[in-house]
Amino acid sequence: MVSSPHEASHRIFQERPNLLAPVFRILGVPLPEKASVEVLTPDATEIRPLERRVDSVLRVTPPECDGFLLAIEAQGRRDTDKPTSWTYYLAHLQAKYDSPVLLLVVCQDKATADWAAGPFTVTVNGWTALSTHPLVLGPDNVPVITDPDEAARDLTLATFCAMTHARGRNIDGILEALARALGSADRDSARYYTELLEIGLGESPARATWKDLMMIGSYFPGRGTMIEKAFLEGEAKGKAEGKAQSIVHLLLRRNIAVSPETRQTIMECQYLDQLDFWFDRALDVTRAEDLFAAE
C-alpha cells in the first residue's frame, strides 16, 4: 500500500489506469479508446552516481497506432531544481524507450500548479535550445464532485478529486459525496479507496474529517456514522435483491407463470422477513399471486 500523500497522488494512476481517460479529457489531450497501460520502471539513473527517479512512468498503447510514455510527477511546492530534472527525464526516457514522452504534474494548490505549467526553457543569447511543457492537474482544472451519484459512477476520479482539492473550500462536500458512494460499493473497492484517500490527504484537516466518515465495517463498527449507515443499507439492499431473484427463479423452475406485476412486487420488496415468508410459500403455491394471499 502507498505510504505518503506524495506517493498516493501518482500511484493512483498505476493502480487505477482508468483514471487516464477522464484526466486526458480534462487536459484537452485526445486519448484513443481501449488503450492498454503498462507500468514501467521509474528509474532514470545512469552509470553516474547521481540518482534520478520519476514518480511514475506508464506506457500507453492504443490498439492500432503508436503509443507514448507518460511520466507522472506529484509536486507539493515550487522547486527551482525540478524543471532541469523534468527536462532530463523526458530526454532520457525518449532515448531509452525510443518513444515520445509526455510529462504530467499533479499539484494540490493553485500556486504550484501555475508554476508547474511552465514552459521551462534553456536559452542562450535568445536562442531556445530546450523547452519543456508539462501537462498539469490542479485545483483549477480537476472537477469538484459533490454529487454522490456522480462519485459512484467513477470512484477513481472522485478519489483523485478529493486528494487534489484537499485544502479547498469544497472539500467537506467532496468527502461526503465520496463517502456515500463508497457505502454502496463492493467491500474491496471501499477498502482500497478509503485507505488511499486517508494517505493522500496527508496531514490536512480534511484527513480528520475523512477518518470520521470512514468509521465503518471492519474499521470502526457500531459508531453509527453516515458511511456506516450507507454501507449497511447497501448491503441489506443487495441481500433483498438476491432473495427476491431466488423467489422468482423458484416459481419459474416450478413452471409457474410470473406476471410482470407480480415480478415487480417481489423485486421491489426490501424486507427480508417478508421475502423469507414468500420464499417458503413459493415452494407450495400453484399460482404466483397466491404468495400475497392473507394467511
3-class secondary-structure state, position 245: helix
- Same domain as 85, residue 45: yes
Q: Is the pTM of this model over 0.75?
A: no
- Same domain as 83, residue 29: yes
pLDDT at 212: 79
- Same domain as 279, residue 235: yes
- Same domain as 20, residue 59: yes
Q: 458511511: which residue's cell?
A: 227
Read off the C-alpha cell for 226: 453516515
pLDDT at 225: 47
User: Residue 161's domain spans which residues?
Assistant: 148-214
Instruction: Report if residue 196 sits inside a domain.
Output: yes
pLDDT at 139: 94
Instruction: Report if residue 220 sits inside a domain.
Output: no
- Which of the listed residues 137, 167, 184 is the one where a domain comes to its end? 137
What does the pLDDT profile of the chain (295 residues) look like in tens digits? 455 778 888 888 888 888 888 888 898 887 777 778 888 855 544 434 444 577 888 898 887 777 899 999 999 899 988 898 899 999 999 998 899 999 999 999 999 999 999 899 888 888 988 899 999 999 999 999 999 999 999 999 999 999 999 988 999 999 999 988 888 888 788 888 888 888 888 888 888 888 877 764 434 344 444 555 566 666 677 788 888 999 998 899 889 999 999 999 999 998 888 998 999 899 888 999 988 887 5
CA distances, 3 to each of 52, 84, 109, 156 (Å): 20, 27, 21, 18
Domain count, the chain: 3
- Same domain as 287, residue 205: no
Instruction: Report if residue 285 sits inside a domain.
Output: yes
Instruction: Report if residue 222 sits inside a domain.
Output: no
- Same domain as 207, residue 115: no
pLDDT at 241: 87
Instruction: Report if residue 105 sits inside a domain.
Output: yes
Instruction: Report if residue 224 sits inside a domain.
Output: no
- Same domain as 116, residue 60: yes
- Going 78 to 83 to 86 to 88, the CA torsion angle's sign is negative
- Same domain as 189, residue 80: no
- Which of the listed residues 118, 137, 156 is the one where a domain comes to its end? 137
- Same domain as 112, residue 32: yes
Sorted by sequence, the CB contacts under 8 Å of residue 159 that are 6+ apart come out as 12, 178, 193, 196, 197, 200
pLDDT at 216: 47
- Same domain as 112, residue 12: yes
Instruction: Report if residue 142 sits inside a domain.
Output: no
Measured between alpha carbons, how far apart are the two ends of the chain, in Å?
55
What distance lies between CA 53 and its chain's CA centroid?
25
pLDDT at 232: 64
- Same domain as 91, residue 12: yes
Instruction: Report if residue 93 sits inside a domain.
Output: yes
- Which of the listed residues 156, 181, 214 is the one where a domain comes to its end? 214
- Same domain as 107, residue 10: yes
DSSP for 146-194, please give it. Answer: --HHHHHH-HHHHHHHHHHTTTSTTHHHHHHHHHHHHHTS-HHHHHHHH
Beta 120-124 vs 56-61: how paired, if at all? unpaired
Beta 120-124 vs 127-132: how paired, if at all? antiparallel
